[in-house]
Amino acid sequence: MDAYDIFKKLAVGSKFNMQRFQSDAEKFKLINKQTKNVPNDEVETNGFVDVCSKTSLKRKYEEAEEEKKIDTLTLIKGMSVPVDGSKVKTKTNKNSMTEAKKIKLEREQINQFRNQHHISVTGSHVPKSIATFDELLTEYQVSKKLLNNMKECGYEQPTPIQMQAIPVLLQNRQLLACAPTGSGKTAAFLLPIIHHLNAPQKQGFRAIILSPTRELAKQTYRECLRLSEDYGFRIHIISKINQALSKYGPKSSQKFDILITTPKRLVFLLKQEPPAISLANVQWLIVDEADKLFEDGMRGFRDQLEEISTACTNSNLHRALFSATTTPAVTKWCRKNLKGLITVTVGQRNSAVDLIEQELLFVGSERGKLVAIRNIILKGIAPPVLVFVQSKERAQELFSELIYDGINVDVIHADRTQTQRDNVVRCFREGKIWVLICTELMGRGIDFKGVNLVINYDFPPTTISYIHRIGRTGRAGHKGKAITFFTEQDTTNLRSIATVMRASGCDVPEYMLAMKKHSKKERRKLERTAPERDTILTVPKYKQHVTKKLHKKNAVNIKKVTKNTH
Ligand SMILES: Nc1ncnc2c1ncn2[C@@H]1O[C@H](COP(=O)(O)OP(=O)(O)OP(=O)(O)O)[C@@H](O)[C@H]1O
């Protein structure tokens, strides 16, 4: 390659003024001396411009074109590019271009769809979300039977979490999913499990679903029965531990497919000598309300979860964690322990559903709370209504007050027997109970259809608790209302709850958002121990000891009354 060639290549695509650079052009033999005075007739021929007769122009153009065909540089063995820097317009290149364009376009469409439904994902090779359940038929060969069962439940269109979590689990990926309360997370994990397990097999439990409370486990069990109708699975819920001991002996447990339980009961069975249950064939471990189950300490399930995980020895084990709220500890654990993890988040993390109209009501004192709740009832309530208090004692006290107010009220807490709890839940579902007083026990996961109002009689201990409690209303696209009472005692979490409210579009007084942020220590303390509060009684303090005795006596009678009404 001489100087001329180099010049040609460097000048590819450029035009220059022949009069000004005539001497250069002569030097590089671009023009003949005799043609130099021919009037300008600029022609661009891939880099060199000549002023010449039309024939010589044509010839030079043809020469240049010819040269272009042969002048290629070999870069890597088997790959070559034209030396003039132009793109190679071969057939394969064209194809791969259109292929790349297609992929890019598809990516953009997928992202657009996710944005539209407020779905965000992390992880590699995240499967495309589905827009309709019918796509599962063609893309994942999900049976018509299963899709019909979904339809029977009234599930015509997937909710955002179902759009993304279902394909992820159908592709056998491990998942951490966070989506708002009442957004259909249960079906998002049940559908893939039913599909994967396909038919009953006498291999022992192949899927386990862990829930923090028996009430939630029962609800999931019912949903699982409905969605797996005609599959013939043996689905089990550990309710009576003594019965379970005999039921799940190493031999008999072979015939079961799906186990739905609280971690405590399962660990009890695992701890028997020899273990009363085998988890060696478990392929799917679902942790519902994952952040709750990851809590440390007395009220947490962290240790039990660890034991259950260890007992699931199958090399083909997949884990999926679901919740409406999440903590950094859960995310960290998942990233560390779950290979090929995909995270799916719908909406803002740890936020309240914007379909819920939220109100903070200053009631001054404990007695102010009773006045306020009676006012609300007097103004007229549209049942069903859930009322949250901080302890079982207070639940009982409030019940003793409201039972004589002429409304169908009942109470549920951990001190009531399992039969009583089951009856109360059933009656509330059937509309026989209008107002249900409850503790944190009912705060998570419970899906009562059409709860119109949630009253936080006692201020929630954390923002997470607030989100779950009020999330018992405004479910599955329906509107709801939540009223939270507060006194001067409740300032610790007022600011953060006001922030959650503002984020979901509710009006909050500015002063609440500007309140002093309380220390982590103070908030932690409140999380562990509920604040001391005056007894829930209408009578003045000096008469309370007499009335308290009366309440205790009444509590016995009330139990009889409620027993009869159920
Ligand atoms: N695709 C769907 N279409 C219509 N309704 C649905 C659909 N999927 C679930 N639901 C209904 O939505 C309600 C809430 O579902 P689910 O209990 O699974 O919510 P969740 O996200 O688990 O809530 P939480 O966080 O409070 O536990 C249920 O009544 C359920 O039957």
Whole-Å CA distances, 459 to 198, 439, 501: 46, 12, 14
CA 180 to ligand 1 centroid distance, Å: 10
Q: How many domains does the chain have?
A: 2
pLDDT at residue 194 in the model: 98
Res. 18 pLDDT band, cuts 50 70 90 = low
Which is the closest atom of ligand 1 to the Cα of 323?
25
pLDDT value at 463 more than 50: yes
pLDDT value at 345 more than 70: yes
pLDDT at residue 254 in the model: 78
Which is the closest atom of ligand 1 to the Cα of 153?
31
Task: Tell which one of 183, 221, 287, 386 to mutate to probe ligand 1, the residue whose CB is within 8 A of the most ligand atoms.
Answer: 183
Contact 437, 395 (CB under 8 A): yes
471 lines ligand 1 (CB under 6 A): yes
Q: Are residues 339 and 472 in the same domain?
A: no
Which two three-digit tokens encode residue 28? 């590089």
DSSP SS3 for 234: coil
Q: Which of 283, 315, 346 is the last residue of a domain?
A: 346
Is 57 domain-assigned? no
Is 381 domain-assigned? yes
pLDDT at residue 86 in the model: 57
**Quick one: average pLDDT of 520-535?**
82
Helices 160-170 and 185-197: angle between axes, nearest 10 degrees: 30
More confident residue, 230 or 52: 230
pLDDT at residue 394 in the model: 96
Question: 505-526: b or e for each residue (b if 16 or more CB lie within 10 Å)?
Answer: ebebeeebeeeeebeeeebeeb
What mean pLDDT is reported for the chain? 84
Report the percentage of the chain scoring pLDDT > 90: 64
- Closest Cα partner for 468 from 305, 558, 350? 350
Q: Rounded to whole angstroms, how far apart are CA atoms 487 and 363?
A: 6
CA 217 to ligand 1 centroid distance, Å: 15
Q: Are residues 361 and 328 in the same domain?
A: no
Domain containing 263: what range?
105-346
For residue 30, how far is the Cα from the chain centroid? Answer: 69
Q: Are residues 428 and 317 in the same domain?
A: no
pLDDT value at 72 more than 60: no
pLDDT at residue 5 in the model: 59
183 lines ligand 1 (CB under 6 A): yes
Does the predicted interface ipTM exceed a cut of 0.90? yes
pLDDT value at 367 more than 80: yes
**Quick one: average pLDDT of 410-434?**
94
Contact 559, 419 (CB under 8 A): no
Is 563 domain-assigned? no
pLDDT value at 307 more than 60: yes
Q: Are residues 427 and 498 in the same domain?
A: yes
Whole-Å CA distances, 311 to 98, 130, 279: 50, 34, 6
CA 187 to ligand 1 centroid distance, Å: 7
Res. 538 pLDDT band, cuts 50 70 90 = confident
Which is the closest atom of ligand 1 to the Cα of 157?
1
476 lines ligand 1 (CB under 6 A): yes
Q: Are residues 311 and 439 in the same domain?
A: no
pLDDT value at 123 more than 50: yes
Q: Rounded to whole angstroms, how far apart are CA atoms 177 and 321?
A: 6
CA 431 to ligand 1 centroid distance, Å: 20
Is 413 domain-assigned? yes
Q: Are residues 470 and 507 in the same domain?
A: yes
Within 10 Å of residue 423's Cβ, how many Cβ atoms? 20
Work out the burial of residue 388: count CB atoms within 10 Å of its CB; fewer than 13 is exposed, 13-18 middle, 19 or more buried: buried
Stated pTM of the model: 0.79
What is the per-residue pLDDT across 140-161, written as a single tens digit (0 to 9) for each?
A: 999 999 999 999 999 999 999 9
Is 72 domain-assigned? no
CA 499 to ligand 1 centroid distance, Å: 26
CA 476 to ligand 1 centroid distance, Å: 6
CA 152 to ligand 1 centroid distance, Å: 14
Provide the CATH number for the domain around residue 273.
Answer: 3.40.50.300
Q: Which amino acid, residue 164?
A: Q
Question: What residue's CA is closest to ligand 1, atom 25?
Answer: 181
Contact 361, 483 (CB under 8 A): yes
**Quick one: average pLDDT of 46-73?**
42
- Closest Cα partner for 470 from 488, 494, 453? 453
Q: Are residues 306 and 449 in the same domain?
A: no
pLDDT at residue 24 in the model: 62
Q: Are residues 425 and 395 in the same domain?
A: yes
Q: Are residues 286 and 166 in the same domain?
A: yes
Q: Are residues 390 and 296 in the same domain?
A: no
Q: Are residues 281 and 376 in the same domain?
A: no
Contact 447, 425 (CB under 8 A): no
